[in-house]
Structure 1
Amino acid sequence: MKTILLIGAGRMGSAMLSGWLKGLDMSAHFMAIDPNNKPNIGDLVEYPLPGKQFTYFKSPSEVPKHIKADAVILATKPQMVADAVKSVRAYVGPNTVLASVAAGVPTETIKTAIPGHPAAVRIMPNIGAMVGHSVSAGFASAEVTPDQKSLINKLFAAIGVFSWLASEDDLHTVTALSGSGPAYYFALCEAMVVAAQEQGLAEEVARNLAIGTIVAAGRLLEQTPDPTHLRKTVTSPNGTTAAGLEALGEDDALVKLAQNTINAAHKRSIELA
Protein backbone atom coordinates (compact mmCIF):
# COMPACT_ATOMS: atom_id res chain seq x y z
CA MET A 1 0.00 0.00 0.00
CA LYS A 2 1.34 3.41 -1.00
CA THR A 3 1.43 6.24 1.52
CA ILE A 4 0.53 9.65 0.08
CA LEU A 5 1.08 12.69 2.29
CA LEU A 6 -1.01 15.68 1.16
CA ILE A 7 0.01 19.07 2.54
CA GLY A 8 -2.89 21.47 2.17
CA ALA A 9 -6.53 20.35 2.10
CA GLY A 10 -8.08 23.51 0.70
CA ARG A 11 -10.10 23.73 -2.51
CA MET A 12 -7.51 22.15 -4.82
CA GLY A 13 -6.13 19.70 -2.25
CA SER A 14 -9.58 18.41 -1.31
CA ALA A 15 -10.62 18.18 -4.97
CA MET A 16 -7.60 16.01 -5.77
CA LEU A 17 -8.13 13.90 -2.65
CA SER A 18 -11.78 13.30 -3.54
CA GLY A 19 -10.78 12.18 -7.03
CA TRP A 20 -8.13 9.81 -5.68
CA LEU A 21 -10.48 8.21 -3.17
CA LYS A 22 -13.11 7.42 -5.78
CA GLY A 23 -11.05 7.05 -8.95
CA LEU A 24 -7.56 5.74 -8.15
CA ASP A 25 -7.23 2.05 -8.91
CA MET A 26 -4.48 1.43 -6.36
CA SER A 27 -4.30 0.67 -2.65
CA ALA A 28 -3.19 3.79 -0.82
CA HIS A 29 -3.27 5.49 2.56
CA PHE A 30 -3.86 9.23 2.16
CA MET A 31 -2.79 11.51 4.98
CA ALA A 32 -3.85 15.14 4.78
CA ILE A 33 -2.24 17.88 6.86
CA ASP A 34 -3.95 21.25 7.13
CA PRO A 35 -4.33 23.47 10.21
CA ASN A 36 -7.43 25.23 8.83
CA ASN A 37 -9.38 22.69 6.77
CA LYS A 38 -10.58 19.44 8.29
CA PRO A 39 -11.96 17.17 5.56
CA ASN A 40 -13.46 13.80 6.40
CA ILE A 41 -13.98 10.93 4.03
CA GLY A 42 -17.78 11.31 4.12
CA ASP A 43 -17.54 14.88 2.90
CA LEU A 44 -15.09 13.96 0.15
CA VAL A 45 -16.77 10.91 -1.38
CA GLU A 46 -19.70 8.69 -0.44
CA TYR A 47 -18.28 5.42 -1.73
CA PRO A 48 -14.47 5.33 -1.93
CA LEU A 49 -12.89 2.55 -3.95
CA PRO A 50 -11.67 -0.48 -1.95
CA GLY A 51 -8.14 -0.30 -0.60
CA LYS A 52 -8.31 3.37 0.37
CA GLN A 53 -7.54 4.78 3.80
CA PHE A 54 -7.72 8.40 4.85
CA THR A 55 -6.40 10.18 7.94
CA TYR A 56 -6.49 13.89 8.73
CA PHE A 57 -3.88 15.70 10.83
CA LYS A 58 -3.95 19.30 11.97
CA SER A 59 -0.16 19.58 12.07
CA PRO A 60 2.88 17.57 10.90
CA SER A 61 3.75 16.72 14.50
CA GLU A 62 0.63 14.53 14.72
CA VAL A 63 1.78 12.19 11.95
CA PRO A 64 3.10 8.85 13.32
CA LYS A 65 6.89 8.98 13.57
CA HIS A 66 7.48 5.75 11.63
CA ILE A 67 5.79 7.02 8.45
CA LYS A 68 7.86 7.39 5.29
CA ALA A 69 5.74 8.71 2.45
CA ASP A 70 5.96 7.38 -1.09
CA ALA A 71 4.85 10.80 -2.31
CA VAL A 72 4.41 14.20 -0.69
CA ILE A 73 1.90 16.32 -2.59
CA LEU A 74 2.25 20.04 -1.85
CA ALA A 75 -1.04 21.89 -2.33
CA THR A 76 -0.24 25.02 -0.34
CA LYS A 77 0.05 28.64 -1.42
CA PRO A 78 3.24 29.20 -3.46
CA GLN A 79 5.00 31.20 -0.76
CA MET A 80 4.46 28.37 1.73
CA VAL A 81 5.89 25.48 -0.32
CA ALA A 82 9.47 25.52 1.00
CA ASP A 83 8.35 25.72 4.64
CA ALA A 84 5.78 22.98 4.03
CA VAL A 85 8.49 20.64 2.71
CA LYS A 86 10.73 21.37 5.68
CA SER A 87 7.85 20.71 8.11
CA VAL A 88 7.48 17.11 6.91
CA ARG A 89 11.13 16.23 6.32
CA ALA A 90 10.90 13.53 9.03
CA TYR A 91 8.48 11.63 6.79
CA VAL A 92 10.57 11.96 3.63
CA GLY A 93 12.61 8.85 2.90
CA PRO A 94 15.15 8.09 0.17
CA ASN A 95 12.37 6.86 -2.15
CA THR A 96 9.95 9.74 -1.54
CA VAL A 97 9.01 11.98 -4.45
CA LEU A 98 8.05 15.59 -3.72
CA ALA A 99 5.35 16.97 -6.02
CA SER A 100 4.08 20.55 -5.94
CA VAL A 101 0.89 21.88 -7.55
CA ALA A 102 1.65 25.46 -6.44
CA ALA A 103 1.89 27.86 -9.36
CA GLY A 104 5.27 29.42 -10.11
CA VAL A 105 7.37 27.37 -7.68
CA PRO A 106 10.34 25.82 -9.57
CA THR A 107 11.56 22.31 -8.88
CA GLU A 108 14.86 23.79 -7.65
CA THR A 109 13.01 25.44 -4.74
CA ILE A 110 11.39 22.12 -3.86
CA LYS A 111 14.67 20.20 -4.12
CA THR A 112 16.68 22.60 -1.95
CA ALA A 113 14.06 22.69 0.83
CA ILE A 114 15.49 19.36 1.99
CA PRO A 115 19.21 19.25 1.15
CA GLY A 116 20.21 16.03 -0.53
CA HIS A 117 16.70 15.11 -1.66
CA PRO A 118 16.52 15.97 -5.37
CA ALA A 119 13.45 13.97 -6.55
CA ALA A 120 10.98 16.76 -7.29
CA VAL A 121 8.01 17.14 -9.60
CA ARG A 122 6.12 20.29 -10.49
CA ILE A 123 2.54 19.95 -11.72
CA MET A 124 -0.04 22.41 -13.01
CA PRO A 125 -3.58 21.05 -12.58
CA ASN A 126 -6.69 23.15 -13.16
CA ILE A 127 -10.06 23.85 -11.57
CA GLY A 128 -11.53 20.82 -13.34
CA ALA A 129 -10.15 18.77 -10.44
CA MET A 130 -13.21 19.92 -8.49
CA VAL A 131 -15.42 17.75 -10.71
CA GLY A 132 -12.93 14.97 -11.45
CA HIS A 133 -11.91 16.41 -14.81
CA SER A 134 -8.61 18.13 -14.17
CA VAL A 135 -6.31 18.86 -17.08
CA SER A 136 -2.77 18.60 -15.73
CA ALA A 137 0.80 18.61 -16.97
CA GLY A 138 3.98 17.99 -15.04
CA PHE A 139 7.75 18.24 -15.18
CA ALA A 140 10.04 15.86 -13.30
CA SER A 141 13.58 16.66 -12.24
CA ALA A 142 16.25 14.37 -13.67
CA GLU A 143 16.57 12.55 -10.35
CA VAL A 144 12.96 11.28 -10.36
CA THR A 145 12.96 7.51 -10.94
CA PRO A 146 10.67 5.65 -13.36
CA ASP A 147 8.73 4.19 -10.41
CA GLN A 148 8.24 7.65 -8.92
CA LYS A 149 7.06 9.01 -12.26
CA SER A 150 4.68 6.09 -12.57
CA LEU A 151 3.16 6.87 -9.16
CA ILE A 152 2.66 10.54 -10.01
CA ASN A 153 1.21 9.58 -13.38
CA LYS A 154 -1.32 7.25 -11.72
CA LEU A 155 -2.35 9.91 -9.20
CA PHE A 156 -2.99 12.68 -11.70
CA ALA A 157 -4.39 10.50 -14.49
CA ALA A 158 -6.98 9.35 -11.93
CA ILE A 159 -8.43 12.87 -11.70
CA GLY A 160 -8.42 13.75 -15.41
CA VAL A 161 -5.98 14.14 -18.27
CA PHE A 162 -2.26 14.21 -17.46
CA SER A 163 0.79 14.87 -19.66
CA TRP A 164 4.54 14.97 -18.99
CA LEU A 165 6.60 17.90 -20.21
CA ALA A 166 10.16 17.80 -21.53
CA SER A 167 11.00 21.29 -20.26
CA GLU A 168 10.07 23.04 -17.03
CA ASP A 169 9.72 26.30 -18.97
CA ASP A 170 6.75 24.73 -20.78
CA LEU A 171 4.77 25.06 -17.55
CA HIS A 172 4.36 28.78 -18.31
CA THR A 173 2.44 27.83 -21.46
CA VAL A 174 0.50 25.16 -19.58
CA THR A 175 -0.46 27.77 -17.00
CA ALA A 176 -1.62 30.12 -19.74
CA LEU A 177 -3.52 27.43 -21.65
CA SER A 178 -5.12 24.96 -19.25
CA GLY A 179 -4.40 26.54 -15.86
CA SER A 180 -6.12 29.81 -16.74
CA GLY A 181 -8.09 28.37 -19.66
CA PRO A 182 -11.38 27.56 -17.89
CA ALA A 183 -11.83 31.27 -17.19
CA TYR A 184 -11.56 32.03 -20.92
CA TYR A 185 -14.47 29.68 -21.66
CA PHE A 186 -16.46 31.12 -18.77
CA ALA A 187 -15.86 34.61 -20.16
CA LEU A 188 -16.99 33.49 -23.64
CA CYS A 189 -20.11 31.99 -22.09
CA GLU A 190 -20.84 35.29 -20.33
CA ALA A 191 -20.42 37.19 -23.60
CA MET A 192 -22.73 34.80 -25.47
CA VAL A 193 -25.42 35.27 -22.81
CA VAL A 194 -25.24 39.04 -23.18
CA ALA A 195 -25.32 38.82 -26.99
CA ALA A 196 -28.39 36.54 -26.91
CA GLN A 197 -30.17 38.90 -24.53
CA GLU A 198 -29.53 41.77 -26.93
CA GLN A 199 -31.31 39.68 -29.57
CA GLY A 200 -34.35 39.44 -27.29
CA LEU A 201 -33.92 36.21 -25.31
CA ALA A 202 -34.77 36.22 -21.63
CA GLU A 203 -31.68 36.07 -19.41
CA GLU A 204 -32.53 32.65 -17.95
CA VAL A 205 -33.13 31.14 -21.39
CA ALA A 206 -29.94 32.69 -22.79
CA ARG A 207 -27.93 31.44 -19.83
CA ASN A 208 -29.31 27.89 -20.04
CA LEU A 209 -28.64 27.69 -23.77
CA ALA A 210 -25.12 29.15 -23.55
CA ILE A 211 -24.06 26.92 -20.66
CA GLY A 212 -25.66 23.83 -22.15
CA THR A 213 -23.92 24.47 -25.46
CA ILE A 214 -20.47 24.68 -23.84
CA VAL A 215 -21.12 21.51 -21.81
CA ALA A 216 -22.30 19.65 -24.93
CA ALA A 217 -19.31 20.85 -26.95
CA GLY A 218 -16.97 19.67 -24.20
CA ARG A 219 -18.55 16.22 -24.14
CA LEU A 220 -18.32 15.93 -27.90
CA LEU A 221 -14.63 16.85 -27.75
CA GLU A 222 -14.12 14.26 -25.03
CA GLN A 223 -15.55 11.57 -27.31
CA THR A 224 -13.92 12.90 -30.49
CA PRO A 225 -10.78 14.90 -29.61
CA ASP A 226 -10.54 16.61 -32.98
CA PRO A 227 -11.93 20.18 -32.87
CA THR A 228 -11.33 20.73 -36.59
CA HIS A 229 -13.38 17.66 -37.51
CA LEU A 230 -16.20 18.61 -35.14
CA ARG A 231 -16.28 22.18 -36.43
CA LYS A 232 -16.60 20.96 -40.00
CA THR A 233 -19.24 18.41 -38.99
CA VAL A 234 -21.53 21.03 -37.48
CA THR A 235 -21.00 23.61 -40.25
CA SER A 236 -23.23 23.42 -43.32
CA PRO A 237 -22.05 25.38 -46.38
CA ASN A 238 -23.65 28.83 -46.49
CA GLY A 239 -25.64 28.06 -43.35
CA THR A 240 -26.10 29.94 -40.07
CA THR A 241 -23.04 28.32 -38.42
CA ALA A 242 -20.88 29.24 -41.39
CA ALA A 243 -22.07 32.85 -41.15
CA GLY A 244 -21.29 32.99 -37.44
CA LEU A 245 -17.86 31.44 -37.89
CA GLU A 246 -17.06 33.86 -40.68
CA ALA A 247 -17.80 36.77 -38.36
CA LEU A 248 -15.86 35.12 -35.52
CA GLY A 249 -12.79 34.57 -37.69
CA GLU A 250 -12.89 37.71 -39.80
CA ASP A 251 -9.37 39.02 -40.46
CA ASP A 252 -8.04 36.14 -38.31
CA ALA A 253 -9.61 37.86 -35.31
CA LEU A 254 -10.15 34.61 -33.38
CA VAL A 255 -6.59 33.36 -33.99
CA LYS A 256 -5.15 36.72 -32.95
CA LEU A 257 -7.38 36.85 -29.87
CA ALA A 258 -6.23 33.38 -28.80
CA GLN A 259 -2.59 34.30 -29.40
CA ASN A 260 -2.89 37.55 -27.43
CA THR A 261 -4.68 35.77 -24.59
CA ILE A 262 -2.13 32.95 -24.26
CA ASN A 263 0.82 35.34 -24.72
CA ALA A 264 -0.43 37.70 -21.99
CA ALA A 265 -1.00 34.89 -19.49
CA HIS A 266 2.35 33.28 -20.42
CA LYS A 267 4.16 36.57 -19.83
CA ARG A 268 2.47 37.04 -16.47
CA SER A 269 3.37 33.49 -15.42
CA ILE A 270 7.05 34.26 -16.08
CA GLU A 271 6.79 37.52 -14.11
CA LEU A 272 5.30 35.70 -11.10
CA ALA A 273 7.89 32.87 -11.14
Structure 2
Amino acid sequence: MNRALEGKTVALIGAGNMGLAMLEGWAAEGLAGDRVVVVDPNPSERLQALCAAKGYLLGDGAAVGGARDAVILAIKPQMLEAGTSAAAPFVGPQSVVVSILAGKRIADIAARLPAAKAIVRAMPNTPAAIGRGVTGAFASPETSEAQRALSHALLAAAGQVEWVENEPLIDAVTAVSGSGPAYVFYLVECLAAAGVEAGLPADLAARLARATIEGSGELLHRQADVAAETLRQRVTSPGGTTAAALSVLMAEEGLAPLMSRAVAAAKKRAGELSG
Protein backbone atom coordinates (compact mmCIF):
# COMPACT_ATOMS: atom_id res chain seq x y z
CA MET A 1 0.00 0.00 0.00
CA ASN A 2 1.12 3.54 -0.74
CA ARG A 3 2.47 4.95 2.54
CA ALA A 4 0.35 8.08 2.14
CA LEU A 5 -2.77 5.88 2.44
CA GLU A 6 -1.74 3.97 5.54
CA GLY A 7 -4.20 4.45 8.39
CA LYS A 8 -6.19 7.09 6.48
CA THR A 9 -9.96 7.33 6.37
CA VAL A 10 -11.82 8.27 3.21
CA ALA A 11 -15.35 9.25 2.24
CA LEU A 12 -16.34 8.89 -1.41
CA ILE A 13 -19.36 10.96 -2.39
CA GLY A 14 -20.69 9.55 -5.66
CA ALA A 15 -19.67 6.24 -7.17
CA GLY A 16 -20.61 6.50 -10.82
CA ASN A 17 -18.09 5.58 -13.51
CA MET A 18 -15.26 7.81 -12.24
CA GLY A 19 -15.91 7.34 -8.54
CA LEU A 20 -16.16 3.59 -8.89
CA ALA A 21 -12.95 3.50 -10.94
CA MET A 22 -11.12 5.26 -8.11
CA LEU A 23 -12.68 2.98 -5.51
CA GLU A 24 -11.53 -0.09 -7.43
CA GLY A 25 -8.07 1.44 -7.61
CA TRP A 26 -8.02 1.95 -3.84
CA ALA A 27 -9.11 -1.64 -3.37
CA ALA A 28 -6.21 -2.77 -5.55
CA GLU A 29 -3.88 -0.65 -3.36
CA GLY A 30 -5.08 -2.58 -0.32
CA LEU A 31 -7.38 0.03 1.18
CA ALA A 32 -10.15 -1.96 2.83
CA GLY A 33 -12.58 -2.02 5.73
CA ASP A 34 -14.63 0.68 7.38
CA ARG A 35 -11.90 3.26 6.83
CA VAL A 36 -13.74 3.83 3.53
CA VAL A 37 -17.33 5.02 3.39
CA VAL A 38 -19.24 5.41 0.14
CA VAL A 39 -22.32 7.58 -0.34
CA ASP A 40 -24.31 7.01 -3.51
CA PRO A 41 -28.10 7.39 -3.85
CA ASN A 42 -28.37 4.62 -6.44
CA PRO A 43 -25.59 2.09 -5.80
CA SER A 44 -24.99 -0.25 -8.71
CA GLU A 45 -24.67 -4.00 -8.25
CA ARG A 46 -20.98 -3.68 -9.03
CA LEU A 47 -20.56 -1.08 -6.28
CA GLN A 48 -22.53 -3.12 -3.76
CA ALA A 49 -20.47 -6.20 -4.53
CA LEU A 50 -17.18 -4.32 -4.13
CA CYS A 51 -18.27 -2.78 -0.83
CA ALA A 52 -19.34 -6.17 0.47
CA ALA A 53 -16.09 -7.81 -0.60
CA LYS A 54 -13.83 -5.11 0.88
CA GLY A 55 -15.88 -4.19 3.93
CA TYR A 56 -16.53 -0.61 2.81
CA LEU A 57 -19.40 1.20 4.50
CA LEU A 58 -22.19 2.04 2.07
CA GLY A 59 -24.59 4.54 3.52
CA ASP A 60 -25.06 8.22 4.27
CA GLY A 61 -23.64 10.83 6.59
CA ALA A 62 -26.36 10.37 9.19
CA ALA A 63 -25.62 6.65 9.48
CA VAL A 64 -21.83 6.53 9.12
CA GLY A 65 -20.76 10.14 9.64
CA GLY A 66 -17.66 11.49 11.32
CA ALA A 67 -14.77 13.50 9.92
CA ARG A 68 -12.52 11.68 7.45
CA ASP A 69 -8.97 12.40 6.40
CA ALA A 70 -10.09 12.76 2.78
CA VAL A 71 -13.48 13.46 1.23
CA ILE A 72 -13.76 12.87 -2.51
CA LEU A 73 -16.51 14.62 -4.44
CA ALA A 74 -17.05 12.42 -7.51
CA ILE A 75 -20.47 13.69 -8.54
CA LYS A 76 -21.81 15.48 -11.60
CA PRO A 77 -21.42 19.28 -11.52
CA GLN A 78 -25.18 19.79 -11.48
CA MET A 79 -25.28 17.76 -8.25
CA LEU A 80 -23.06 20.25 -6.40
CA GLU A 81 -25.64 21.24 -3.79
CA ALA A 82 -26.78 17.70 -2.99
CA GLY A 83 -23.23 16.35 -3.13
CA THR A 84 -21.74 18.89 -0.74
CA SER A 85 -24.67 18.38 1.62
CA ALA A 86 -23.94 14.65 1.61
CA ALA A 87 -20.24 15.34 2.17
CA ALA A 88 -20.67 17.79 5.07
CA PRO A 89 -20.89 15.17 7.88
CA PHE A 90 -17.48 13.82 6.84
CA VAL A 91 -15.64 17.15 6.65
CA GLY A 92 -13.62 18.46 9.57
CA PRO A 93 -10.76 20.94 10.01
CA GLN A 94 -8.18 18.23 9.25
CA SER A 95 -9.97 16.88 6.16
CA VAL A 96 -8.82 17.45 2.62
CA VAL A 97 -11.68 17.73 0.13
CA VAL A 98 -10.85 16.54 -3.38
CA SER A 99 -13.30 17.68 -6.06
CA ILE A 100 -13.45 16.24 -9.57
CA LEU A 101 -16.48 18.34 -10.50
CA ALA A 102 -15.85 19.80 -13.93
CA GLY A 103 -16.19 23.57 -14.01
CA LYS A 104 -16.57 24.00 -10.26
CA ARG A 105 -13.94 26.16 -8.58
CA ILE A 106 -12.37 25.76 -5.17
CA ALA A 107 -14.39 28.82 -4.11
CA ASP A 108 -17.59 27.02 -5.10
CA ILE A 109 -16.70 24.09 -2.84
CA ALA A 110 -15.49 26.26 0.04
CA ALA A 111 -18.71 28.28 0.03
CA ARG A 112 -20.73 25.12 0.57
CA LEU A 113 -18.35 23.31 2.93
CA PRO A 114 -17.16 26.01 5.35
CA ALA A 115 -15.54 23.41 7.61
CA ALA A 116 -13.13 22.51 4.80
CA LYS A 117 -9.74 24.22 4.98
CA ALA A 118 -7.77 22.18 2.44
CA ILE A 119 -9.37 21.71 -0.99
CA VAL A 120 -7.94 20.09 -4.11
CA ARG A 121 -9.52 20.64 -7.51
CA ALA A 122 -8.81 17.81 -9.93
CA MET A 123 -9.65 17.06 -13.55
CA PRO A 124 -9.36 13.38 -14.53
CA ASN A 125 -10.21 11.95 -17.93
CA THR A 126 -12.23 8.94 -19.02
CA PRO A 127 -9.34 6.42 -19.37
CA ALA A 128 -9.30 6.56 -15.56
CA ALA A 129 -12.06 3.96 -15.84
CA ILE A 130 -9.38 1.42 -16.81
CA GLY A 131 -6.64 2.80 -14.59
CA ARG A 132 -4.91 4.57 -17.48
CA GLY A 133 -6.19 8.09 -16.98
CA VAL A 134 -4.31 11.29 -16.35
CA THR A 135 -5.47 13.85 -13.79
CA GLY A 136 -4.49 17.49 -13.50
CA ALA A 137 -4.74 18.85 -9.95
CA PHE A 138 -4.36 22.09 -8.00
CA ALA A 139 -4.25 22.38 -4.21
CA SER A 140 -5.45 25.38 -2.22
CA PRO A 141 -2.74 27.16 -0.18
CA GLU A 142 -4.17 25.69 3.03
CA THR A 143 -3.37 22.15 1.84
CA SER A 144 -0.46 20.63 3.73
CA GLU A 145 2.21 18.47 2.10
CA ALA A 146 0.75 15.41 3.83
CA GLN A 147 -2.74 16.24 2.54
CA ARG A 148 -1.36 16.79 -0.95
CA ALA A 149 0.41 13.42 -0.78
CA LEU A 150 -2.80 11.74 0.35
CA SER A 151 -4.75 13.40 -2.47
CA HIS A 152 -2.08 12.35 -4.97
CA ALA A 153 -2.22 8.74 -3.80
CA LEU A 154 -6.01 8.62 -4.04
CA LEU A 155 -6.08 10.16 -7.52
CA ALA A 156 -3.16 8.05 -8.74
CA ALA A 157 -5.22 4.91 -8.23
CA ALA A 158 -6.87 5.82 -11.56
CA GLY A 159 -3.68 6.75 -13.43
CA GLN A 160 -1.07 9.49 -13.74
CA VAL A 161 -1.37 12.71 -11.70
CA GLU A 162 0.09 16.08 -12.71
CA TRP A 163 -0.02 19.18 -10.47
CA VAL A 164 -0.42 22.72 -11.80
CA GLU A 165 0.76 25.95 -10.18
CA ASN A 166 -2.50 27.89 -10.25
CA GLU A 167 -6.18 27.07 -10.48
CA PRO A 168 -6.90 28.74 -13.86
CA LEU A 169 -4.51 26.22 -15.47
CA ILE A 170 -7.11 23.55 -14.74
CA ASP A 171 -9.02 25.04 -17.69
CA ALA A 172 -6.02 24.26 -19.93
CA VAL A 173 -5.80 20.76 -18.44
CA THR A 174 -9.48 20.30 -19.27
CA ALA A 175 -8.86 21.39 -22.86
CA VAL A 176 -5.88 19.07 -23.39
CA SER A 177 -6.42 15.89 -21.38
CA GLY A 178 -9.94 16.22 -20.02
CA SER A 179 -11.47 16.59 -23.47
CA GLY A 180 -8.53 14.94 -25.24
CA PRO A 181 -9.93 11.38 -25.42
CA ALA A 182 -12.74 12.70 -27.64
CA TYR A 183 -10.15 14.15 -30.02
CA VAL A 184 -8.48 10.74 -30.28
CA PHE A 185 -11.77 8.94 -30.84
CA TYR A 186 -12.64 11.44 -33.57
CA LEU A 187 -9.25 10.79 -35.17
CA VAL A 188 -10.23 7.12 -35.40
CA GLU A 189 -13.48 8.12 -37.11
CA CYS A 190 -11.70 10.39 -39.58
CA LEU A 191 -8.98 7.86 -40.37
CA ALA A 192 -11.60 5.18 -41.00
CA ALA A 193 -13.61 7.51 -43.25
CA ALA A 194 -10.45 8.34 -45.21
CA GLY A 195 -9.82 4.63 -45.61
CA VAL A 196 -13.26 4.19 -47.14
CA GLU A 197 -12.55 7.05 -49.55
CA ALA A 198 -9.34 5.24 -50.49
CA GLY A 199 -11.34 2.16 -51.46
CA LEU A 200 -11.44 0.02 -48.31
CA PRO A 201 -14.65 -1.65 -47.11
CA ALA A 202 -16.08 0.34 -44.20
CA ASP A 203 -15.77 -2.44 -41.62
CA LEU A 204 -12.15 -3.12 -42.56
CA ALA A 205 -11.27 0.58 -42.54
CA ALA A 206 -12.80 0.90 -39.06
CA ARG A 207 -10.82 -2.06 -37.73
CA LEU A 208 -7.57 -0.81 -39.24
CA ALA A 209 -8.03 2.72 -37.86
CA ARG A 210 -8.96 1.53 -34.39
CA ALA A 211 -6.13 -0.99 -34.12
CA THR A 212 -3.64 1.60 -35.37
CA ILE A 213 -4.57 4.12 -32.67
CA GLU A 214 -4.66 1.42 -29.99
CA GLY A 215 -1.24 0.12 -30.95
CA SER A 216 0.30 3.57 -31.28
CA GLY A 217 -0.99 4.55 -27.84
CA GLU A 218 0.45 1.42 -26.32
CA LEU A 219 3.79 2.09 -28.01
CA LEU A 220 3.80 5.58 -26.48
CA HIS A 221 3.06 4.01 -23.11
CA ARG A 222 5.74 1.35 -23.27
CA GLN A 223 8.39 3.70 -24.64
CA ALA A 224 7.65 6.59 -22.30
CA ASP A 225 11.29 7.70 -22.40
CA VAL A 226 11.11 8.30 -26.16
CA ALA A 227 9.65 11.60 -27.40
CA ALA A 228 6.60 11.42 -29.64
CA GLU A 229 8.56 13.37 -32.24
CA THR A 230 11.24 10.66 -32.27
CA LEU A 231 8.67 7.90 -32.65
CA ARG A 232 7.12 9.80 -35.56
CA GLN A 233 10.50 10.19 -37.24
CA ARG A 234 11.21 6.46 -36.88
CA VAL A 235 8.08 5.69 -38.90
CA THR A 236 8.84 8.25 -41.59
CA SER A 237 11.15 7.21 -44.41
CA PRO A 238 12.36 10.10 -46.60
CA GLY A 239 10.30 10.26 -49.75
CA GLY A 240 7.98 7.48 -48.58
CA THR A 241 4.25 7.17 -48.09
CA THR A 242 4.26 8.44 -44.50
CA ALA A 243 6.28 11.47 -45.51
CA ALA A 244 3.73 12.22 -48.23
CA ALA A 245 0.87 12.11 -45.73
CA LEU A 246 2.76 14.18 -43.16
CA SER A 247 3.45 16.86 -45.75
CA VAL A 248 -0.31 17.47 -45.69
CA LEU A 249 -0.78 17.16 -41.92
CA MET A 250 2.23 19.38 -41.19
CA ALA A 251 1.42 22.06 -43.74
CA GLU A 252 0.91 25.65 -42.63
CA GLU A 253 -2.85 25.08 -42.39
CA GLY A 254 -2.52 21.46 -41.30
CA LEU A 255 -3.11 19.64 -38.02
CA ALA A 256 -1.04 21.85 -35.66
CA PRO A 257 -3.00 25.09 -36.09
CA LEU A 258 -6.28 23.16 -36.15
CA MET A 259 -5.44 21.45 -32.85
CA SER A 260 -4.34 24.77 -31.39
CA ARG A 261 -7.71 26.31 -32.24
CA ALA A 262 -9.56 23.31 -30.87
CA VAL A 263 -7.74 23.40 -27.52
CA ALA A 264 -8.18 27.18 -27.31
CA ALA A 265 -11.93 26.77 -27.86
CA ALA A 266 -12.16 24.10 -25.17
CA LYS A 267 -10.12 26.21 -22.73
CA LYS A 268 -12.33 29.24 -23.36
CA ARG A 269 -15.46 27.21 -22.74
CA ALA A 270 -13.96 25.70 -19.57
CA GLY A 271 -13.30 29.20 -18.28
CA GLU A 272 -16.87 30.24 -19.06
CA LEU A 273 -18.24 27.23 -17.17
CA SER A 274 -15.92 27.88 -14.22
CA GLY A 275 -16.86 31.54 -14.04
TM-score by length of 2: 0.89
Q: Show CA shifts across 1:58-105 (max 9, x none).
A: x33232x4x321111001121322442233322222211011000011
- The 8 Å contact of residues 85 and 114 in structure 1, kept in 2 or not, is answered as yes
Q: Could you tell me how far apart the structure 1 residues matched to 2:216 and 2:55 are?
A: 37
Match of 1:96 in 2: 95
SS of 1:168's equivalent?
A: coil
Q: Could you tell me how far apart the structure 1 residues matched to 2:220 and 2:87 are?
A: 41
| Aligned counterpart in structure 1 of residue 37 of structure 2, from 27, 31, 36 | 31
Q: Show CA shifts across 1:160-179 (max 9, x none).
A: 11011101000000000000
Match of 1:255 in 2: 256
- The 8 Å contact of residues 85 and 113 in structure 1, kept in 2 or not, is answered as yes
Task: Note closer, same or farther for the CA distance 1:44–1:201 as it changes in structure 2 (3 Å cut).
Answer: farther
Paired residues for 1:236-255 under 5 Å: 236-255=237-256
Q: Could you tell me how far apart the structure 1 residues matched to 2:128 and 2:26 are?
A: 10
Number of residue pairs the alignment of both structures matches: 265
SS of 1:250's equivalent?
A: coil
Match of 1:156 in 2: 155
Match of 1:146 in 2: 145
Paired residues for 1:49-198 under 5 Å: 53-57=55-59, 59-63=60-64, 65=65, 67-198=66-197
Match of 2:222 in 1: 223
Instruction: Tell me which amino acid in the other structure corresponds to 2:264.
Output: N
SS of 1:93's equivalent?
A: coil
Task: Note closer, same or farther for the CA distance 1:10–1:258 as it changes in structure 2 (3 Å cut).
Answer: same
Q: Could you tell me how far apart the structure 2 residues matched to 1:7 and 1:209 are?
A: 40
Q: Could you tell me how far apart the structure 2 residues matched to 1:130 and 1:16 are?
A: 8
Q: Could you tell me how far apart the structure 2 residues matched to 1:137 and 1:265 are?
A: 15
Deviation at 1:25, TM superposition (A): 5.4
Q: Could you tell me how far apart the structure 2 residues matched to 1:253 and 1:189 are?
A: 17
Match of 2:27 in 1: 21
Match of 2:4 in 1: none
Task: Note closer, same or farther for the CA distance 1:97–1:82 as it changes in structure 2 (3 Å cut).
Answer: farther
Deviation at 1:183, TM superposition (A): 0.3
Match of 1:4 in 2: 10
Q: Show CA shifts across 1:133-153 (max 9, x none).
A: 111010000001111100011
- The 8 Å contact of residues 95 and 117 in structure 2, kept in 1 or not, is answered as no
Match of 2:198 in 1: 199
SS of 1:244's equivalent?
A: helix
Deviation at 1:27, TM superposition (A): 5.9
Deviation at 1:201, TM superposition (A): 1.4
Deviation at 1:224, TM superposition (A): 2.3
Q: Could you tell me how far apart the structure 1 residues matched to 2:204 and 2:25 are?
A: 33
Q: Could you tell me how far apart the structure 1 residues matched to 2:257 and 2:89 are?
A: 51
Q: Could you tell me how far apart the structure 2 residues matched to 1:2 and 1:97 are?
A: 11
